[in-house]
Amino acid sequence: MMDMKITDLKCTVVEGYPIVRIDTDEGISGLSQLEFNRDYNKPQVLFYKRFLLGQDPRNVERVMLRIRHLGGFKPWGSAVSAIEVALWDIAGKAAGLPVYRLLGGKIRDRVRVYNTGTGPGPKGWAPEDYAESARKKKSLPEGFTIFKYAIGFHGRMFAQVPGSFYGEPEEGYRLRGHVTERGLKHAINCIRALKEVFGDECGLAIDCGPGFSPQAALSLAKAVEPLNLLWLEDLITGDYTPYTAVEAFRLVSSNTTTPIHTGEQIYLRYGFKDLIEKNAVDVIGPDPLDDGGIAELKWIAEFADLHGILIAPHGVGDGMIGLAALIQVCATLPQNYIAFEMPRLDSFWYEIVEGLPNPLVKEGFIEVPDKPGLGVELNEKALRKRLPEGDDFLS
């Protein structure tokens, strides 16, 4: 078979989401995207164009060897990861097969998702605010079976509740400090309020940070042991932290029965190596739009499974195209798979992307589609109305 060649790489930003397209000389294009609020990654995506032109996109690994070493921990591996996903989309379309078949075939016909960003979140920081949100989310028509809530440093609870930690509640994303007794009690009370609503009918996971000291992290984990949480996420390091505190996580996880989780910021299998080999956490959460791509996610999941570590991929900001990628790869993951994080889908996604099941989520699961590639296409007429003036993405 003659080589297919990449002829162009394009990137636009729609409603804060960078969307990527790779074109070929055979008229097949591959789609991908980056997480929301990543407009600053657009120049980074286009930087890689020089390494892609003329390459056969079906040789995904060969192409990735040219660019993989040029990425890093979230968000600097995002462009590389998005390109990898688009390459698989082309490979699937060229073969007339869904991506999951190219990854070894599916283990499950439908994939479980968990809910972080769908439905009304808490209106405030009190336990009753969380309970009210839980009651509403529990009754959503999608029938989610797992829910995750931000408590502690994540979502800036500790910045808003006075006396929660020994530190400065400065502006910006990064908060960090030793948690006070008041802060610890407040977090525990909010978790208990959620658990009272969900009971043993639904799984409950808590996104905590990053920012806890190891001592405070262990105190929280031990205090909530009777609640049988699915996990406590990113207690020490995590989202947008360019390193992994392997030993600190290991000290916490080895001294509590509450499962400890991290991983959404980690880039490539090499970034997960020590975390997995040292059994430093119980659950990992790679994001295919940050970890190096969907084949990389599968490799990480298989390696984790060898060590008895569970996997619940991250994805709340991955949009509709990222959702399509998550469905395809999670259908192939081993039996350490729990669920992936359902992306938050604003209404415009249903206008500009076509191909996924409708309704999307039934009883907490999504059916795995059999269309070639990722199984989605752009509605160019609807997308054109949302492109920035002068944008050549569709030309």
281 neighbors 262 (Cβ within 8 angstroms): yes
pLDDT at 249: 98
Residue 143 and residue 227 in one domain: yes
CATH of the domain at 199: 3.20.20.120
Residue 60 and residue 124 in one domain: no
Q: What is the CA radius of gyration of the chain?
A: 21
Joined together, the tokens standing for residue 35 give 């997480």
Instruction: Give CA 24 to chain center in angstroms.
Output: 28
Q: Is residue 389 assigned to a domain?
A: no
Residue 161 and residue 22 in one domain: no
pLDDT at 1: 56
Domain residues for the domain of 27 are 6-97+378-384
Residue 74 and residue 216 in one domain: no
Residue 87 and residue 137 in one domain: no
Q: Is residue 392 assigned to a domain?
A: no
Instruction: Give CA 209 to chain center in angstroms.
Output: 15
Quick one: how many helices (H) and strands (E) in the chain?
A: 15, 16
Q: Is residue 266 assigned to a domain?
A: yes
Instruction: Walk along the chain (395 residues) and give the pLDDT tens digit of each residue.
Output: 589 999 999 999 999 999 999 999 999 999 999 999 999 999 999 999 999 999 999 999 999 999 999 999 999 999 999 999 999 999 999 999 999 999 999 999 999 999 999 999 999 999 999 999 999 999 999 999 999 999 999 988 999 999 999 987 766 557 899 999 999 999 999 999 999 999 999 999 999 999 999 999 999 999 999 999 999 999 999 999 999 999 999 999 999 999 999 999 999 999 999 999 999 999 999 999 999 999 999 999 999 999 999 999 999 999 999 999 999 999 999 999 999 999 999 999 999 999 999 899 999 999 999 999 999 999 999 999 999 989 999 98
Q: How far apart are the first and last CA of the chain?
A: 28
Number of domains in the chain: 2
CATH of the domain at 75: 3.30.390.10
Q: Is residue 167 assigned to a domain?
A: yes
DSSP 4: P
Residue 154 and residue 234 in one domain: yes
DSSP 144: -
pTM, full prediction: 0.97
Q: Is residue 393 assigned to a domain?
A: no
Residue 150 and residue 78 in one domain: no
**Block residue for tokens 């600190």:** 248
